[in-house]
Amino acid sequence: MEIKILGGNANPVVLEGICSHLGIAPTKHFVGRFSDGEIRVQIEESVRGQDVYLVQSTNPPAENLLELLLLADAARRASAARITAVIPYFGYARQDRKDRPRVPISAKLVANLIEAAGIDRILTVDLHADQIQGFFNIPVDNLYATPIFKRFFLEDFEEKISAEKWVVVSPDVGGIKRARLIAEKLWNLPLAMVDKRRPRPNVAQVVSVIGEVEGKNVLLVDDIIDTGNTIANASKALIERGALRVLVMATHGLFSGRAREVLGESPIERILITNTVFRRNRALPEKTQVLDVSGLLAEAIKRIHSSGSISALFL
Ligand code: R5P
């Protein structure tokens, strides 16, 4: 059984990157549009009996999700032996429970759609909440981007991180587990937390800072940057409470709306993200540095293909 890799238009950079790490060419395929805008998909070489990987993030527009579903349907009807969706950024994950009246559980609906399209397993990076794995009845490998950030700090960062000078901060209660993991993996740093409230969607208010940040350099850790309000407000509150500087480390950079301006005006010194979300012709906020996830995903694909363990990738 051979590895066959293809994808939609959501993340061509990661698709190319994975192929180049694996030393294979993408399987010939077409993902375009009919004249009225309807999505047209065709896999242009045989995948019969093969191990197929569909690389596609599901951030907006919703057509990214639809392209993934159509590619999966095409692969299934072409008798692929196994179809794995490689979803660098799993969008629609933030609504993962019914926490107010008359709202959908979007993450569960998307999981149902993915399974209905015939996908056999999922490989993704930093799911918004680990328990979303349970929305699927197929295996989900949820990689953490931590090893990529850790390598950056070891090999490319100009300074040495130490527990005397640095503190890891979560910008909200929901992110505390992620921040704690990173604090432990990065030289056992101390941990603090911002108490953030969301009076309505996309509005983030800081209520207080829990923990010691005075006189320290802050590594502010989040999974997603969307409007930028969460980390911009957190950084202001941290500087007001005596933090020396704030660096941000977040896996998925969506940067919607005024994020570029909001972050430009904030006291954040540097923003590290990964390329799980592709930004076609849209400028990143200044101070942003993008790290590549394709090596990590390629390694995971190699191991899934050969039925090897991927737990070694969870540094
Ligand atoms: C929230 O639970 C997430 O972890 C992020 O903090 C949030 O999605 C960031 O959104 P924004 O940049 O719009 O404040």
Mutate to test the pocket of ligand 1, among 182, 220, 225, 260 (most ligand atoms within 8 A of CB): 225
For residues 158-171, b (16+ Cβ closer than 10 Å) or e, as one string?
Answer: eeebeeeebbbbbb
Per residue in 130-149, pLDDT tens? Answer: 999 999 999 999 999 999 99
pLDDT of residue 266: 97
196 is catalytic: yes
Structure tokens at 8: 């939609």
Could you give the domains of the chain? 3-144+295-309 (3.40.50.2020), 146-292 (3.40.50.2020)
Distance between Cα 76 and ligand 1 center (Å):
35
The answer to whether the CB of 232 is under 6 A from ligand 1 is: no
Quick one: average pLDDT of 299-308?
96
- Cα–Cα nearest to 245, from 215, 286, 285, 210: 215
Among 130, 230, 260, 261, say which to mutate for ligand 1: greatest number of ligand atoms within 8 Å of CB. Answer: 230
**pLDDT tens for residues 41-58?**
999 999 999 999 999 999
Cβ of 91 less than 6 Å from ligand 1: no
The predicted-structure confidence for 146-201, as pLDDT tens digits, reads as follows 999 999 998 999 888 899 999 999 999 989 999 999 999 888 999 999 997 877 87
HSE-CB at 116 with a 13 A cutoff on CA atoms is: 8
Ligand 1 contacts CB of residue 225 (under 6 A): yes
Does residue 230 have its Cβ closer than 6 Å to ligand 1?
yes
Ligand 1 centroid–CA 180 distance in Å is: 17
- Options 4, 108, 185, 196, the catalytic residue: 196
Q: Using a 6 Å cutoff on CB, does residue 202 contact ligand 1? A: yes
